[in-house]
């Protein structure tokens, strides 16, 4: 006994009723529902249509059984399956007649069986997703005894699938919902934006277009001279023949020369465009608020800079160039056609108009697909960037396959989009090719008639055919590059959207520059939510004053808002309520660039740039820093010794992974100290270090905090987890849940026996264990 088709063994006899077996009734009722659905425009149209087809299929199967046609025609293919007798309805066993049963399995899912004496021959499964599969008893292929209907059903399925990826099909609606974007750039919008980018190099663009016009016009004359040479040779007109030959050679050479100039100039214009676009985009991105980078991923942004800008480069270098050339040639050829025979010219115009109409539709399609394709590329890049930057974590956890799967999920999406693009391209090519050749056929048929009736000469008809081919060919090329241009515009939509972002207010507004910074910092009634989490209150009514030259330590549990306080002091975010005041001036009113120059920051995870150590230390100080100043800062940071022991000393190229945590930290301290900052912020600068490194870094920090060798004592804000490192602080601020819970010196807080005392005890007991 073979395997039963899915769903049949679970078939319950009690679900059968005479009405279920009445196919005519089923057909009529579904036809009625179908009619109703059409009128009421409900979503049931598809379901009832399929039910109607199913009912028809059932009744035809039944007829075929009766006629025994089934057994005859499909011998050898069908091997009837006997069902488990326990699960078989009695009427099947008793009737001895072929029966067709149907059963409603789910809301609109049917399984239909053709049965003869308990033998199941085939079934059709109308899936909930609308897929219509008719299969033989073993679930293989289509239902063998109803091939006529199966073809219809297959066509139905094909049409249904096709509809999903036609413009406005379900696939588009789904994907558009995923990539919701309000920004939409038009052709003219994109062109004017590009013009702004390339207009500083008008000369090169001018050269390119002049060369384009000369090359196009000389090329278009070539068929005329070819035909003239052939017919002058045929007529034995020697001088005409040689004159035409000379002109042909001149035109061919002119065409070659100016094509070269055109190609070169457009290529250069292209490079200029991409370079400017990338520069502008890069700067626009750098000018955004930090909150912008909380919402956008680095991988996606670099993809916009790379892949999307490259797509835009096609517009001028390739698409516009070819469209202009072919547009000009097509127009010239059409004028020539009109001079030969206006009737024939109009037939060519008709075909070209149709071709252009189809291309416009295809262009719109390409624009949409390109947008989604670029989004998928950006998402894939995001995954790749993340995986590469966290490669040590990936390797440690052995998640290479998972990361590869995450990456290939986006590649799969991209492939789906490309698949649709290619199908559309296939349709576009099909229509263009058909129309292309139909012009020649129509022109030959009509033109042949004209030649036979003596209205035009054979030479004219030959020229006509050559030039009409040119017109159609030009229309085809213009259309093809129009679609490609729309694709590039679609791909560049996000780039233009990003380019339109206004720079952060901090970058544009000036502000006060104080004669000198005393270092008095006040957090006045600060409450704060991160823009990406507007509902989570991170800081709540924080009031804190740090006096000039004071060393204040902020401690508290992880997540209590210590680093957020530092971010607000550096104005990386604006407080939701309240303000930060420096030396009596609200931070908002100060020139933020100048203010940041007065602050030295050493963070928990120092990041180094891929450049030499000296440049890393002097980072952000302009180009006037002397080697002696760099070395002095390195000595203060306890880094000079290890830097000098490296083979290339201060010229050693480093990055984030080529030095130990302690070494990186000391370079970061040197970077903070070289500015001789009035305010020093140490954000858990030693928390990730081992005992030896911590000792070295701590000594460097102490020296930095004291302002060794500097006239003024600097204001220092230390955030620390290890409470042993902040005992000497003038004041300790304890934060809990975004609020200042306690404040005082170490001894005062221990005496208070509150949160600080609890934290200290816990750390001491952990160390003792």
Ligand X SMILES: Nc1ncnc2c1ncn2[C@@H]1O[C@H](COP(=O)(O)OP(=O)(O)OP(=O)(O)O)[C@@H](O)[C@H]1O
Q: How far is the CB of 274 from ligand X (least distance, A)?
A: 33
Q: How far is the CB of 199 from ligand X (least distance, A)?
A: 39
Q: How far is the CB of 295 from ligand X (least distance, A)?
A: 9
Judged by beta carbon, residue 347 or residue 564, the one nearer ligand X is 564
Sequence-distant (≥ 6) Cβ neighbours of residue 663 within 8 angstroms: 639, 642
User: Binding marks (x or -) toward ligand X, 194..213, rule CB under 6 A?
Assistant: --------------------
CA distance 34 to 52: 8
559 lies in the binding site for ligand X (CB under 6 A): yes
CA distance 698 to 687: 10
Q: How far is the CB of 529 from ligand X (least distance, A)?
A: 9
Judged by beta carbon, residue 208 or residue 681, the one nearer ligand X is 681
Q: How far is the CB of 580 from ligand X (least distance, A)?
A: 15
Tokens for 637? Answer: 């940071």
Judged by beta carbon, residue 294 or residue 402, the one nearer ligand X is 294
What 3-state class would DSSP assign to 2?
coil
Sequence-distant (≥ 6) Cβ neighbours of residue 264 within 8 angstroms: none
How deeply is 533 buried, as exposed, middle or buried, from its count of CB atoms within 10 A (0-12, 13-18, 19+)?
Answer: exposed
Which span sits near ligand X by CB under 6 A: 5-13, 332-340, 553-561, 636-644? Answer: 553-561
CA distance 642 to 528: 42
Judged by beta carbon, residue 463 or residue 721, the one nearer ligand X is 721
Give first-to-last CA distance, the chain, whole Å.
71
Q: Bridge-partner residues for 734, per DSSP?
A: 555, 742
Contact 617, 675 (CB under 8 A): no
Tokens for 667? Answer: 């370079």
Judged by beta carbon, residue 248 or residue 720, the one nearer ligand X is 720
Q: What are phi and psi of 17, to 5 degrees?
A: -140, 160
3-state secondary structure 562-631: HHHHHHHHCCCCCCCEEEEEECCEEHHHECHHHHHHCEEEECCCCCCCCEEHHHHHCCCCCCCCCHHHHH
Which span sits near ligand X by CB under 6 A: 339-347, 436-444, 562-570, 667-675? Answer: 562-570
Judged by beta carbon, residue 714 or residue 721, the one nearer ligand X is 721
User: Binding marks (x or -) toward ligand X, 488..527, rule CB under 6 A?
Assistant: ----------------------------------------
How deeply is 200 buried, as exposed, middle or buried, from its count of CB atoms within 10 A (0-12, 13-18, 19+)?
Answer: exposed
- Sites for ligand X among residues 523-552 (CB under 6 A): 530, 532-533, 538
CA distance 683 to 408: 39
Which span sits near ligand X by CB under 6 A: 183-191, 211-219, 559-567, 620-628? Answer: 559-567
Q: How far is the CB of 183 from ligand X (least distance, A)?
A: 25
Which span sits near ligand X by CB under 6 A: 14-22, 111-119, 206-214, 558-566? Answer: 558-566
- Residues in the interface with ligand X (CB under 6 A) total 13
Q: How far is the CB of 532 from ligand X (least distance, A)?
A: 5
Judged by beta carbon, residue 350 or residue 559, the one nearer ligand X is 559
CA distance 364 to 186: 11
Judged by beta carbon, residue 194 or residue 682, the one nearer ligand X is 682
CA distance 610 to 607: 10
Judged by beta carbon, residue 220 or residue 566, the one nearer ligand X is 566
Judged by beta carbon, residue 13 or residue 559, the one nearer ligand X is 559
CA distance 557 to 730: 20
How deeply is 119 buried, as exposed, middle or buried, from its count of CB atoms within 10 A (0-12, 13-18, 19+)?
Answer: middle
CA distance 679 to 325: 63
- Sites for ligand X among residues 563-582 (CB under 6 A): 563-564
Sequence-distant (≥ 6) Cβ neighbours of residue 45 within 8 angstroms: 34, 37, 38
Helix, strand, coil % (nearest 5) of the chain?
A: 65, 10, 25
Q: How far is the CB of 292 from ligand X (least distance, A)?
A: 11
Tokens for 188? Answer: 């003219």
Judged by beta carbon, residue 229 or residue 720, the one nearer ligand X is 720
Q: How far is the CB of 567 from ligand X (least distance, A)?
A: 7
Q: How far is the CB of 492 from ligand X (least distance, A)?
A: 29
User: Binding marks (x or -) toward ligand X, 239..278, rule CB under 6 A?
Assistant: ----------------------------------------
Judged by beta carbon, residue 107 or residue 535, the one nearer ligand X is 535
Quote the DSSP letter at residue 510.
-
Residue that has been written with the tokens 């220092």 in this structure: 716
Judged by beta carbon, residue 318 or residue 527, the one nearer ligand X is 527
Q: How far is the CB of 739 from ligand X (least distance, A)?
A: 12
How many CB atoms are located within 10 Å of the residue 675 CB? Answer: 18
Contact 274, 309 (CB under 8 A): yes
Q: Where are the beta strands (DSSP E) in 547-586?
A: 551-556, 577-582, 585-586
Residue of 326, 374, 560, 715 interacting with ligand X (CB under 6 A)? 560
Tokens for 217? Answer: 């016009």
Residue of 129, 558, 624, 628 interacting with ligand X (CB under 6 A)? 558
- Sites for ligand X among residues 281-320 (CB under 6 A): 294
Q: How far is the CB of 565 from ligand X (least distance, A)?
A: 7
CA distance 267 to 277: 15
Q: How far is the CB of 640 from ligand X (least distance, A)?
A: 30
Q: Where are the beta strands (DSSP E) in 457-563?
A: 521-529, 537-546, 551-556
Closest CA to 187 of 300, 319, 317: 319
- Sites for ligand X among residues 452-481 (CB under 6 A): none
Judged by beta carbon, residue 431 or residue 560, the one nearer ligand X is 560
Q: How far is the CB of 688 from ligand X (least distance, A)?
A: 11
Residue of 317, 330, 561, 575 interacting with ligand X (CB under 6 A)? 561
Q: What are phi and psi of 523, to 5 degrees?
A: -100, 110
CA distance 180 to 189: 20
Judged by beta carbon, residue 314 or residue 721, the one nearer ligand X is 721
Dihedral of CA atoms 619, 624, 627, 630 in degrees, nearest 10, equals -40
Which span sits near ligand X by CB under 6 A: 36-44, 331-339, 555-563, 605-613? Answer: 555-563
Q: How far is the CB of 560 from ligand X (least distance, A)?
A: 4
Judged by beta carbon, residue 133 or residue 736, the one nearer ligand X is 736
Judged by beta carbon, residue 291 or residue 451, the one nearer ligand X is 291
Q: How far is the CB of 296 from ligand X (least distance, A)?
A: 12
Closest CA to 246 of 234, 235, 254: 254
Q: How far is the CB of 615 from ligand X (least distance, A)?
A: 28
Residue of 53, 367, 562, 571 interacting with ligand X (CB under 6 A)? 562
Q: Which residues bind ligand X (CB under 6 A)?
A: 294, 530, 532-533, 538, 556, 558-564
């Amino acid at each position: 006994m073979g395997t039963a088709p899915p769903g049949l063994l679970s078939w319950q006899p009690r679900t059968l009723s005479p009405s279920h077996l009445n196919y005519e009734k089923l057909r009529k009722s579904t036809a009625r529902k179908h009619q109703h659905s059409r009128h009421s425009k409900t979503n049931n149209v598809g379901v009832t249509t399929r039910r109607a087809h199913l009912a028809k299929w059932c009744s035809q199967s039944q007829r075929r059984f009766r006629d025994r046609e089934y057994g005859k025609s499909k011998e050898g293919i069908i091997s009837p399956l006997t069902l488990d007798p326990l699960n078989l309805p009695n009427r099947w066993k008793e009737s001895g007649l072929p029966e067709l049963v149907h059963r409603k399995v789910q809301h609109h899912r049917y399984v239909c069986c053709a049965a003869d004496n308990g033998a199941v021959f085939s079934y059709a499964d109308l899936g909930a997703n609308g897929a219509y599969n008719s299969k033989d008893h073993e679930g293989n292929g289509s239902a063998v005894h109803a091939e006529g209907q199966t073809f219809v059903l297959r066509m139905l399925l094909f049409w249904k699938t096709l509809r999903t990826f036609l413009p406005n099909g379900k696939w588009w609606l789904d994907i558009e919902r995923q990539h919701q974007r309000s920004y939409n750039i038009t052709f003219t919008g994109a062109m004017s934006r590009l013009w702004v980018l390339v207009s500083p190099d008008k000369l090169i663009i001018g050269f390119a277009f002049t060369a384009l016009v000369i090359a196009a016009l000389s090329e278009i004359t070539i068929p005329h001279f070819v035909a003239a040479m052939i017919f002058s040779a045929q007529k034995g007109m020697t001088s005409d023949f040689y004159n035409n030959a000379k002109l042909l050679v001149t035109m061919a050479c002119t065409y070659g020369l100016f094509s070269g100039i055109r190609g070169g100039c457009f290529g250069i214009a292209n490079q200029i465009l991409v370079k400017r676009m990338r520069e502008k985009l890069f700067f626009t991105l750098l000018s955004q608020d930090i909150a912008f980078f909380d919402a956008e991923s680095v991988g996606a942004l670099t993809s916009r800079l790379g892949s999307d800008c490259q797509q835009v480069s096609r517009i001028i270098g390739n698409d516009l160039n070819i469209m202009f050339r072919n547009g000009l040639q097509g127009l010239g050829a059409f004028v020539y056609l009109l001079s030969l025979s206006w009737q024939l010219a109009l037939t060519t115009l008709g075909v070209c108009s149709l071709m252009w109409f189809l291309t416009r539709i295809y262009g719109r399609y390409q624009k949409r697909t390109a947008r989604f394709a670029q989004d998928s590329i950006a998402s894939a890049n995001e995954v790749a960037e993340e995986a590469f930057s966290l490669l040590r974590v990936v390797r440690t956890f052995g998640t290479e396959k998972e990361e590869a799967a995450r990456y290939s999920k986006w590649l799969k999406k991209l492939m789906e989009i490309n698949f649709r693009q290619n199908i559309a391209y296939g349709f576009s090519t099909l229509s263009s090719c058909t129309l292309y050749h139909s012009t020649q056929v129509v022109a030959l048929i009509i033109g042949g008639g004209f030649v036979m009736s003596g209205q035009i000469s054979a030479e004219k008809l030959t020229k006509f055919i050559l030039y009409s081919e040119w017109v159609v060919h030009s229309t085809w090329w213009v259309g093809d590059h129009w679609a490609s241009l729309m694709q590039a515009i679609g791909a560049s939509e996000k780039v233009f959207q990003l380019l339109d972002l206004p720079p952060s207010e901090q970058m544009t507004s000036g502000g006060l520059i104080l004669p000198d910074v005393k270092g008095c910092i006040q957090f006045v009634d600060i409450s704060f939510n991160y823009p990406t989490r507007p509902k989570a209150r991170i800081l709540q009514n924080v009031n804190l004053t740090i006096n000039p030259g004071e060393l204040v330590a902020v401690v508290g549990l992880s997540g209590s808002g210590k680093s957020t306080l530092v971010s607000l002091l550096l104005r990386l975010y604006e407080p939701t309520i309240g303000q930060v005041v420096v030396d009596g001036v609200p931070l908002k009113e100060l020139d933020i660039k100048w203010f940041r120059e007065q602050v030295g920051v050493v963070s928990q995870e120092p990041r180094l740039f891929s450049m030499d150590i000296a440049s890393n230390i002097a980072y952000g100080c302009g180009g006037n820093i002397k080697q002696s100043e760099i070395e002095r800062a390195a000595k203060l940071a306890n880094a000079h010794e290890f830097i000098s022991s490296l083979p290339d000393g201060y010229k050693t190229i480093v990055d984030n992974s080529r030095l130990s945590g302690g070494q990186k930290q000391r370079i970061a301290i040197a970077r903070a100290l070289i500015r001789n900052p009035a305010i020093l912020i140490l954000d858990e600068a030693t928390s990730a270090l081992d005992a030896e490194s911590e000792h070295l870094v701590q000594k460097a920090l102490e020296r930095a905090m004291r302002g060794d060798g500097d006239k003024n004592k600097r204001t220092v804000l230390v955030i620390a987890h290890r409470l042993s490192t902040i005992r000497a602080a003038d004041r300790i601020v304890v934060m809990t849940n975004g609020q200042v819970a306690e404040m005082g010196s170490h001894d005062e807080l221990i005496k208070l026996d509150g949160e600080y005392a609890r934290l200290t005890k816990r750390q001491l007991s952990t160390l003792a264990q």
